[in-house]
Structure 1
């Protein structure tokens, strides 16, 4: 199907003429109007947002009502009192124009706003280029205040495309091929019953398309995704509300270097709003502190709007995904560098390539360049940090990453099937050059492996209620995405988890969450604590496996831990489970404890995720504690461990296993 999409965006296509690409600008004391042949946008100056947006004459936003019917616009959770919408305090506006190296004209709309009580400065940039049907977006946050050198953390920074639901245009939400659904109707949401923060039971409208095709629960967390796999996400109109013409509104992550948290970072993408969560910690990732001298520019990302008669959701999403590479429009970004404060110019970028000898069995290997001296999940500690990653060819070990800002990086390599990571510090990338790194990654080992439970892939998805497709609806979403409260642990495991190595099935006999206490849920009024906190692993050993062995090592990799800090990384001294202990007992003896510290807590499973902040530890004990025949390992959380929750979330303490391995030497 031929989409209404710029030929000039496609590799090798002929450029349109400058005359055909004319962009009109009309500015008054209250508004700025920018338009090309297809896209028309109006900014309302006193609220800092686009309030009218049309594609080929079709209204994409609807009527403005409060904070709906507007966007893309910028807000944050970053001032002392919490949320702030940029442009509502002391906004100033600038319109810039020019032509890029190909002669294609562009218009830039720049909003600057200073929050005077703290002297926080914000800038939001929108650029429209030629006949493109979308906006190239940059965001800057700066803080200069010697009187208050530490302000707070930058907890959320996001841009939003937020249509009015009353418009009645949009019909579907989409993240990827396996994560999409009809948009719940207004009736379904009005009759929905809140069962958790931003989570509703839609049982009152059983015939709603979302309920019949996807799930009886709707939560914004269902459509969260990790940054490694996310390219373009957004909303789709299937033509039923628009005379047969389909429409799409997409946020395209064509660059990811100014986010934090590396490829494991995950957050919300779309729920009736199309988000760009620039900084966030819904799943417990670190966020930067706002201190005197903080000055960071984020982006570019691209809000893209497309349409075609009769186009499918896949058609329009593929059209958007084709733009999701750092090299797309790189020449254009070089042309506007002077307008964007803090953007790393093309002349200060280079290329990195690697040749990594991988351990046997490594699948989906990836190389990450991040702030030197930090785990990539902790790179928010360096407010200047940039990050890059590339998929490694599992056969050749080769990988390359373009447009890397010059500087010193930490290289991290990890892969499914392999315990631990490969880490190399001090990788220097020079501007205008290609830096090559060759390395051999040897999997960590503490001796001869006796057994493992799960696959080391930084996820608990392989376990029960993880990535297994739901059988309840035609779209068959992975079970973990639906809502943790849709499942009942005491019913699934009436005698607790009792797993036998070599006999049990991880997808059936090991839950994706190890709860200290379970519930309550919509179907269980009281919390359940019997057979929840202690999990048992049974394993048989032969004399040959034990002969001459002195030390046993239990490796525990956790895909997430939820302590009293939740997702905030704020220490609560009065909470008993700020730090979460997980204790191993071997044949009745206490072998040791790994402790997940408060600053590595995640709000993972309860926010529909199986991979969040990673925690790993090892427990060593005497091999003589084990015997010929059957042995027993117990993994124990504190019983009835809960915290104080300020949001409508379960107060249970829990962990999510990535993989567990026992070795001897």
Structure 2
């Protein structure tokens, strides 16, 4: 078919030539200085490589002209639905404003910098009590920057909630910058090396071409425009990424061969730390009622969507929604992020633009913190500090000497309890990964007071340095050798899984043939992203629940990746009880320790019983926990939970024993637990 064949045709009719590009990409290059044109209702910034048009004074990106395309944004959309910053907010008072979606529209325009080397413009929207209940109670200043010779443009925003009693209490459910690309051009999406492909068309999600599935964002393509997609599942959550890996993503057009990418050179302004998962690029649709706050059921088929989420509750729930009290002062800079455009030379495969985008990502990372933002709220390199040191692990039951924390994540986040960084969502975080010796260096930290946190793959729990760290401009703080002593009372009697805050090592079943995305077939790094895997539990265990026997069972084959309710024949659900069978010798009438680390929880509960599944009161229960929705949203983890449970030796017997793990919550198929790691320790010796 024409559209399908165009996916595979290398377009050679468009040739770009030149030299001296400020960025080391493949796009057209120019030595022209940056020019600014201010019109009645628009602002146009042009550097000879690309031209960016913004509405005035709203600051919405209405057009991006590049490499022969008058506009890479969806021209069929109205100007307010092409490129924009937005928020989702709720009032924390009696005004009744909940879950309000708002496209941020400036009310004032200002030129911040205008030279041949750089243009920076501001579109601001102040808040005052007369706007109470109408817009989010934040002062917002959106900035756009274009540099000479740059094959792309930057954007950042400054949010502020003033410390005055008249400033309304509110919560910030989400904020992002989003772009809607031309659906007639951009068909190939790349999020990671193992997650890039030609995508279904937005029209394929229309009624009649798709069938909605149990989870509302997912559809089965029953009659797609391109027949090759028939039978696939399209679900935006198949393409989510952890912050630590979400540095570049975007789309490629074959005709002309053009790439549009969002590059995020730092995670400091994202919430939740390096493991927090966020949406990025995906196929539409766009719901007019949601996006424009219009009370109508009209749905429009949206173009390819290009998100950069800075604050969001996905894979975490309400814990990652910042809440601000009445008059609570707060200010934060989101970005800058870089919208990078590239194109091929004559005859080159357009798909090589992904490799070039990754190279450009490295350039941007090495340039951080940028020197060009004009706002005083964005500190430059000389105003920041560094922290260096070495992290060791002390576990005498594993090794008599301290162990280098190879691959540990070590970071600075606002002061809090041990492990509080993963729920921190108001301020900044700065993370690094330790090398093989456990050495770490956290660079370019904003001034302020922090705690130093860490976690080490292969070991349970969280580390926190006991002394707060104050960062001042230009400081280089060496903390020396730090020692993390993970939770441990006695020798390991048995263990299940790998303590890495993920359930990926457990058994992920083959997908239902009716729910396949071929991108994830034979892909061990992403096999959990197939839709509907939770339904396979009842197929694999139709009558009896999972039984895992220590010394015989293999967690890679015999431990299902999520403990979910079983679907019954009448389509209702029932809770499940998993068993761990093990033998004990030389039983002691002392305290044994059961460590249960959870990789995620979604409106679920774990009850622990020992040798008696019917005992009215469990030895331990988590109670109802978690709202990460990781099962339904095709993740392999949400937030991390660790429970340390005393098991009296009087509950155990010499020989055969069984621990029962009951998950009783069963109102939805998506309620469940993802285990990270389980260990039983004997009494101290």
TM-score, normalised via structure 1 length: 0.83
CA contact (8 A) 1:265 1:377 kept: no
CA contact (8 A) 1:587 1:631 kept: yes
Does residue 583 of structure 1 match 2:607?
yes
What is the total number of aligned residue pairs between the two structures?
A: 604
Cα distance in 1 for residues equivalent to 2:17 and 2:622: 54
Local SS of the residue matching 2:270: coil
CA contact (8 A) 1:158 1:278 kept: yes
Equivalent of 2:232, from 216, 237, 244?
Answer: 216
Alignment match, 2:52: 41
CA separation of 1:86/1:474 partners in 2, compared to 1, >3 Å: closer, same or farther?
closer
Local SS of the residue matching 2:557: helix
Alignment match, 2:13: none
Could you tell me how far 1:253 is from its partner in structure 2? 1.4
Does residue 144 of structure 1 match 2:162?
yes
Alignment match, 1:479: 527
Could you tell me how far 1:57 is from its partner in structure 2? 2.1
Alignment match, 2:4: none
CA separation of 1:596/1:378 partners in 2, compared to 1, >3 Å: closer, same or farther?
farther
Local SS of the residue matching 1:171: strand
Equivalent of 1:200, from 219, 229, 241?
Answer: 219
CA separation of 1:550/1:174 partners in 2, compared to 1, >3 Å: closer, same or farther?
same
Alignment match, 2:125: 113
Alignment match, 1:171: 187
Alignment match, 2:592: 552
Please list, as runs of the form range in 1=range in 2, the aligned pairs for 1:148-297 lying within 5 A after superposition: 148-165=166-183, 168-190=184-206, 191-195=209-213, 196-205=215-224, 208-210=227-229, 216-237=232-253, 239=254, 241-242=255-256, 245=257, 247-271=258-282, 272-284=304-316, 285-291=319-325, 292=327, 293-297=329-333
Cα distance in 1 for residues equivalent to 2:356 and 2:610: 52
Could you tell me how far 1:21 is from its partner in structure 2? 4.0
Alignment match, 2:503: 460
Cα distance in 2 for residues equivalent to 1:605 and 1:403: 36
Alignment match, 2:42: 31
Please list, as runs of the form range in 1=range in 2, the aligned pairs for 1:477-626 lying within 5 A after superposition: 477=523, 478-484=526-532, 487-494=535-542, 495-515=544-564, 517-518=565-566, 526-529=571-574, 532-543=575-586, 546=587, 548=588, 550-563=590-603, 580-588=604-612, 592-595=619-622, 600-626=626-652
Farther-moved stretch of structure 1 (411-420 vs 61-70): 61-70
Could you tell me how far 1:221 is from its partner in structure 2? 0.8
Does residue 77 of structure 1 match 2:101?
no
Q: Structure 2 regions of 5+ residues with no counterpart?
A: 1-15, 91-96, 283-303, 395-402
Cα distance in 2 for residues equivalent to 1:94 and 1:369: 35
Could you tell me how far 1:345 is from its partner in structure 2? 3.6
Deviations 1:257-282 (A, max 9, x none): 11111111111011121111010001
TM-score, normalised via structure 2 length: 0.81
Equivalent of 1:129, from 126, 143, 147?
Answer: 147
Local SS of the residue matching 1:508: helix
Farther-moved stretch of structure 1 (152-161 vs 38-47): 38-47
Alpha carbon RMSD of aligned pairs, Å?
3.2
Could you tell me how far 1:175 is from its partner in structure 2? 1.2
CA contact (8 A) 2:629 2:670 kept: no
Does residue 402 of structure 1 match 2:426?
no
CA contact (8 A) 1:536 1:634 kept: yes
CA separation of 1:625/1:355 partners in 2, compared to 1, >3 Å: closer, same or farther?
same
Cα distance in 1 for residues equivalent to 2:534 and 2:222: 12
Does residue 52 of structure 1 match 2:69?
no
Alignment match, 2:9: none
CA contact (8 A) 1:93 1:112 kept: yes
CA separation of 1:255/1:617 partners in 2, compared to 1, >3 Å: closer, same or farther?
same
Could you tell me how far 1:84 is from its partner in structure 2? 4.1
CA contact (8 A) 2:421 2:453 kept: no
Deviations 1:400-429 (A, max 9, x none): 122111232222221221111222141333
Could you tell me how far 1:232 is from its partner in structure 2? 0.7
Cα distance in 1 for residues equivalent to 2:357 and 2:20: 10
Alignment match, 2:658: 632
Local SS of the residue matching 1:228: helix
Equivalent of 1:352, from 368, 373, 387?
Answer: 387
CA contact (8 A) 1:232 1:317 kept: no
CA contact (8 A) 1:281 1:287 kept: yes
CA contact (8 A) 1:561 1:655 kept: yes
CA separation of 1:630/1:660 partners in 2, compared to 1, >3 Å: closer, same or farther?
same
Farther-moved stretch of structure 1 (438-447 vs 452-461): 438-447
Cα distance in 1 for residues equivalent to 2:242 and 2:119: 32
Local SS of the residue matching 1:489: helix
Does residue 415 of structure 1 match 2:456?
yes
Q: Structure 1 regions of 5+ residues with no counterpart?
A: 564-579, 643-649
Could you tell me how far 1:551 is from its partner in structure 2? 1.1
Cα distance in 2 for residues equivalent to 1:326 and 1:352: 22
Alignment match, 1:575: none
Deviations 1:592-630 (A, max 9, x none): 2242565x5312111111121111111102124323332
Local SS of the residue matching 1:263: coil
Local SS of the residue matching 2:619: strand
CA contact (8 A) 2:407 2:438 kept: no
CA contact (8 A) 1:539 1:631 kept: yes
CA contact (8 A) 2:278 2:309 kept: yes
Cα distance in 2 for residues equivalent to 1:485 and 1:581: 20
